[in-house]
Each structure stands twice: as structure tokens, then as C-alpha cells.
Amino acid sequence: MSFTCTKLLLTHSQIWHAATIHPFLQQCHLGTIKSEQFNTWLVQDYLFVVEFTRMVGRVLASAPLDHFDVILGGLAALQDELTWFKQKAAQRQLNLDTKKQATCQEYCEYMHSLGTKPYPVQATAFWAMELAYNQGWQLPGEMPVPYNEFANRWGNPGFTEYVKILEQQADEVLQTAAADVQQQAEEAFVKVAKFEHNFWQMAFNAG
């Protein structure tokens, strides 16, 4: 098999399973998640998305021109997402002007470091981050109110299609990347998967 995103998923299936199937998400599905757990996730995820938006801007700066449309579409969606997070936080009377927890801080620092990596590495990490949310919110199945709104945001067919296009763009540049760049991309995929698991665990531990 050539070096593709699918190969990464197959090679690191256990790590990816831990990143996308977690008690936090399962308890959202069951409606048993505690408010403290969910609110911790919401605030920390907002702080993450702020830095993720900056990361996507750096991905755009490194991308070939024919990848611009998809990445710019993602940036436009993130503008709406940040506004939506603020609305959800206001409804729950949560303060978004707060400190990142250690797990969130480490993940944000890692995203910042990706700006120095070759574009195939950035594209792989970008795809993996979006896929983790797409699958994480889809796999448990239909969620009850109010968690269905969150699941629908990242689990809807339009977002799934967007993630597939990110995968195609990553595959395109991975195919022709040097072996050392492919290795860096694989390392980035594994790191993203571990960070995603740790992020869910951070919120789950709040309960």
C-alpha cells in the first residue's frame, strides 16, 4: 500500500480507536455526562479552536494554490464556530476568559510547532484533527438534547465530506513526499491521536 491517510489509520488503529471512542462521548450519547465535565470540555475546546484557527492560517500559508479553496472554506467555518462557542458558553454562564488546562496548553503548543513542518506534515495533522471530531461525535450514535447540537455540528454529512477532501489533499502531497517527510507525517498523526484522547480524558476527569 502506498503512503496514505488510510494506511496511517490501519497501522495505528488502536491509538486511533482511543482518540475517537471515549467514555466522555459515550456518556454524552447516554445523557449521563455531568455538567462539570461537559462545561470543562466546552471552555477548553473554545480555547483550542482559537489556536486551531491560527494553525489553519499557517497551513494555508504553506499550501499549494489548488488547495486554497478547501482551506479557506474551513477558515470561514471556524469564524462561525467561534461565535457559536461563545453563544453556547453564554447560555451556560461560562467564562471563556480563563486559563488553558495543561492538556489543552500542550496541544496548542504542538499545533503552533507544526508551522515549521513541511506542508505534507501539516496537511496530515490538519486532516487527523478534523477526522477525530467527525468520527468522535458520529460513532456513539444519535445523541439526546442538548448534546445532539454538538454531535450534528461535527458529525453532519457536509462536515464528513469536507474531511474526505482534506484526506484527498493530504494523500496527494504524501504520495510524492520524501521518506523523511512521510515519517514526520506519521509521527504527527500519532501525536494528534494521543492529544485527542488526552483532551477527552481531561474533560472526563473534571467529573
Q: What is the pLDDT of residues 5-27, one digit of tens each?
A: 999 999 999 999 999 999 999 99
Active site residue 196: yes
Q: Is 106:142 a contact under the CB 8 Å cutoff?
A: no
Residue 79 belongs to some domain of the structure: yes
3-class secondary structure, 153: helix
**Mean pLDDT, rounded, for 129-147:** 95
- Asked whether the CA dihedral 24, 77, 49, 115 is positive or negative, the reply is positive
Residue 199 belongs to some domain of the structure: yes
> Which run of H or of E encompasses 146?
none
Return the CATH number at 91: 1.20.910.10
Work out the number of other CB atoms within 10 angstroms of the CB of residue 4: 16
Which among 156, 160, 201 has a CA at the least distance from the CA of 25?
A: 201
Question: Looking at residue 207, what is its pLDDT?
Answer: 72
What is the per-residue pLDDT across 78-118, written as a single tens digit (0 to 9) for each?
Answer: 999 999 999 999 999 999 999 999 999 999 999 999 999 99
Question: Looking at residue 190, what is its pLDDT?
Answer: 98
Q: Is the pTM of this model over 0.85?
A: yes
Residue 21 belongs to some domain of the structure: no
Residue 61 belongs to some domain of the structure: yes
Which is the catalytic residue, given 81, 130, 167, 196? Answer: 196
Which domain does 176 fall in, by range? 35-205
Residue 152 belongs to some domain of the structure: yes
DSSP code, position 10: H
Residue 52 belongs to some domain of the structure: yes
Task: Say how far apart CA 191 and CA 179 lie, in whole Å.
Answer: 18
Question: Looking at residue 1, what is its pLDDT?
Answer: 62
User: With 90 as the cut, is the pLDDT of residue 206 above it?
Assistant: yes
pLDDT averaged over every residue in the chain: 97
Work out the number of other CB atoms within 10 angstroms of the CB of residue 64: 11
Residue 159 belongs to some domain of the structure: yes
Residue 18 belongs to some domain of the structure: no
Q: Which amino acid is at 156?
A: N
Share above pLDDT 90 across residues of the chain, in percent, rounded to a whole number: 98
What is the per-residue pLDDT across 160-198, written as a single tens digit (0 to 9) for each?
Answer: 999 999 999 999 999 999 999 999 999 999 999 999 999
Domain count, the chain: 1
Task: Say how far apart CA 92 and CA 120 lie, in whole Å.
Answer: 39
Q: Is 2 exposed, middle or buried (0-12, 13-18, 19+ CB in 10 A)?
A: exposed
